[in-house]
């Protein structure tokens, strides 16, 4: 039986804990005796999540002498945990006797504070990647990865990426068939396509103040294949080309061309996921013109070419 210990503190992110816990629990239902999962903290007392839910803790860290997999949860609790010398000491001690050490979300800050990520690659929630890099410059931060392996350390991005990480560990331990079955039960990807940048472009930009610009963004989302050259977009907002480009970049945080490209990639992803048309047809229908133009856009935006994206999605769908 593989002993998995999830470390948490008050103000932890609930899904950082329950997501991986559910993956290991499902794997143990599929293969009885595969895992024993316990929650641990310095005090051993119940912990309160950032959403206000109380979580029972199984054991104190001081009572552990060896584990198979040590996982540090994240959330606002990390800011206290990375300053808790008693906790950091236990993490260093248990790292020496663990087969692998993992973190979810801002849990990577705790590992970095313990000096365990020095000279290693790691990731964290996209909103905190720059902070992790600035505060711990000895860590090579990958801002787009869902999770990063630098054995024996494996760091995951934000919140639900803990499930991606746990599924990868189940695949390591029990094989791909078991991991696919668990993913199917939990209705999640076995291997999520793309990285942390794969968010809806319309929802990922700041709330713009200009009414004409908001309407333009809605129009681009509704019909990404239309002619969205800068002169056309400027005319739609009744602005000069120079003023439009400056206003767009200031309010949206992207150049007009980059925003349109992201909208088209998003539309193409949906077509590749749900339809049977060829890549060339998807490129034309989403405004790219050619498959090569779409391929380059996919590589820029999600680091996966369209053909591989479709193959990964279809593999995950078949597993489900």
| Span 261-274, average pLDDT | 86
Q: What is the mean pLDDT of the chain?
A: 90
Q: What is the pLDDT of residues 143-177, one digit of tens each?
A: 878 899 999 999 999 889 999 999 999 999 999 88
Decide if pLDDT at 192 tops 80.
Answer: no
Domain CATH code at residue 215 = 1.10.10.60
- Kindly state the percentage of the chain with pLDDT values over 70: 92
Q: Is residue 196 part of a domain?
A: no
Do 17 and 157 have their domain in common? yes
Q: What is the pLDDT of residues 65-109, one digit of tens each?
A: 999 999 999 999 999 999 999 999 999 999 999 999 999 999 999
Whether omega before 17 lies within 30 degrees of 0, making that bond cis, reads no
Structure tokens at 191: 């291997």
Q: What is the pLDDT of residues 125-135, one digit of tens each?
A: 988 988 999 99
Picking from 163, 186, 209, the residue at the C-terminal end of a domain is 186
Q: What pLDDT is recorded for position 214?
A: 86
Q: What is the pLDDT of residues 198-235, one digit of tens each?
A: 555 665 677 788 889 988 988 888 789 999 999 999 99
Element (H, E) at 149: strand 147-150
Prediction pTM value? 0.65
Do 145 and 263 have their domain in common? no
Q: Do 11 and 81 form a contact (C-beta atoms < 8 A)?
A: no
- Tell me if residue 58 falls in helix, strand or coil: coil
Do 29 and 172 have their domain in common? yes
Decide if pLDDT at 193 tops 80.
Answer: no
Decide if pLDDT at 270 tops 60.
Answer: yes
The angle formed by the CA atoms of residues 210, 214 and 219, to the nearest 5 degrees, is 145
| CA separation for the pair 230, 144 (Å, rounded) | 28
Q: Measuring CA to CA, which residue among 118, 108, 116, 179 is closest to residue 147? A: 108
| CA separation for the pair 125, 116 (Å, rounded) | 18
Q: What pLDDT is recorded for position 46?
A: 95
Do 20 and 124 have their domain in common? yes
Decide if pLDDT at 318 tops 60.
Answer: no
| DSSP-derived pairing of the beta strands 35-41 and 2-7 | parallel
Do 120 and 266 have their domain in common? no
- Kindly state the percentage of the chain with pLDDT values over 90: 72
* Ramachandran bin of 6, using left for φ above 0, alpha for ψ from -120 to 50, beta for the remaining angles: beta
Picking from 137, 159, 186, the residue at the C-terminal end of a domain is 186
Banded model confidence at residue 320, pLDDT cuts 50, 70, 90: very low
Decide if pLDDT at 180 tops 80.
Answer: yes
Decide if pLDDT at 316 tops 80.
Answer: no
Decide if pLDDT at 317 tops 80.
Answer: no
Q: Is residue 25 part of a domain?
A: yes
| Span 227-248, average pLDDT | 95
Q: Do 173 and 154 form a contact (C-beta atoms < 8 A)?
A: no
Q: Could you list the residue range(s) of the whole structural domain that residue 92 is in?
A: 2-186
Q: Is residue 146 part of a domain?
A: yes
| CA separation for the pair 317, 31 (Å, rounded) | 22
Dihedral in degrees, nearest 10, Cα atoms 22, 160, 128, 143: 120
pLDDT top residue among 71 and 312:
71
| Span 11-22, average pLDDT | 96
Do 13 and 134 have their domain in common? yes
Q: How far is CA 12 from CA 107, 235, 314, in A?
A: 10, 48, 34
Q: Do 136 and 73 form a contact (C-beta atoms < 8 A)?
A: no
Decide if pLDDT at 197 tops 60.
Answer: no
Do 67 and 152 have their domain in common? yes
What is the DSSP-derived secondary structure letter of residue 66?
-
**One-character DSSP codes across 239-250:** --HHHHHHHHHH
Picking from 125, 153, 186, the residue at the C-terminal end of a domain is 186
Q: What pLDDT is recorded for position 195?
A: 59
Domain CATH code at residue 132 = 3.40.50.880
CA Rg value for the chain:
22
Catalytic status, residue 286: no
Q: Do 14 and 159 form a contact (C-beta atoms < 8 A)?
A: no
| CA separation for the pair 112, 100 (Å, rounded) | 15
Tell me which of 102, 105, 129, 286 is the catalytic residue. 105
Do 94 and 226 have their domain in common? no
């Amino acid at each position: 039986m593989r002993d998995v210990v999830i470390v948490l503190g008050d103000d932890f992110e609930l899904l950082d804990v329950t997501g991986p816990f559910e993956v290991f629990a499902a794997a143990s239902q599929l293969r009885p005796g595969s895992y024993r999962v316990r929650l641990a903290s310095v005090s051993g007392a119940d912990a309160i999540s950032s959403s206000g839910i109380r979580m029972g803790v199984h054991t104190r860290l001081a009572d552990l002498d060896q584990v198979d997999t040590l996982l540090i949860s994240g959330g606002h609790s990390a800011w206290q945990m990375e300053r808790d010398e008693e906790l950091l000491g236990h993490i260093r001690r248990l790292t020496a006797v663990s087969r692998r050490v993992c973190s979810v979300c801002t849990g990577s800050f705790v590992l970095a504070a313990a000096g365990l990520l020095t000279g290693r690659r790691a990731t964290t929630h996209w909103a905190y990647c720059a902070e992790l890099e600035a505060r711990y410059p000895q860590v090579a931060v990958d801002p787009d990865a869902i999770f990063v392996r630098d054995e024996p350390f494996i760091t995951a991005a934000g919140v639900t990426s803990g499930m991606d990480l746990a599924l990868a560990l189940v695949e390591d331990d029990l094989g791909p068939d078991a991991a696919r079955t668990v993913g199917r039960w939990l209705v999640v990807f076995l291997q999520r396509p793309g990285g942390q940048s794969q968010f809806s472009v319309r929802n990922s930009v700041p709330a713009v103040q200009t009414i004409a610009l908001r309407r333009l963004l809605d129009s681009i989302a509704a019909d990404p294949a239309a002619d969205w050259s800068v002169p056309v977009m400027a005319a739609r907002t009744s602005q000069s080309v120079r003023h439009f480009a400056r206003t767009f970049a200031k309010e949206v945080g992207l150049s007009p061309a980059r925003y349109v490209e992201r909208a088209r990639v998003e539309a193409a992803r949906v077509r590749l996921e749900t339809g049977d048309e060829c890549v060339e047809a998807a490129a034309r229908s989403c405004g790219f013109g050619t498959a090569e133009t779409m391929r380059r856009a996919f590589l820029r935006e999600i680091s996966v070419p369209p053909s591989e994206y479709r193959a990964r999605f279809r593999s995950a769908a078949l597993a489900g």
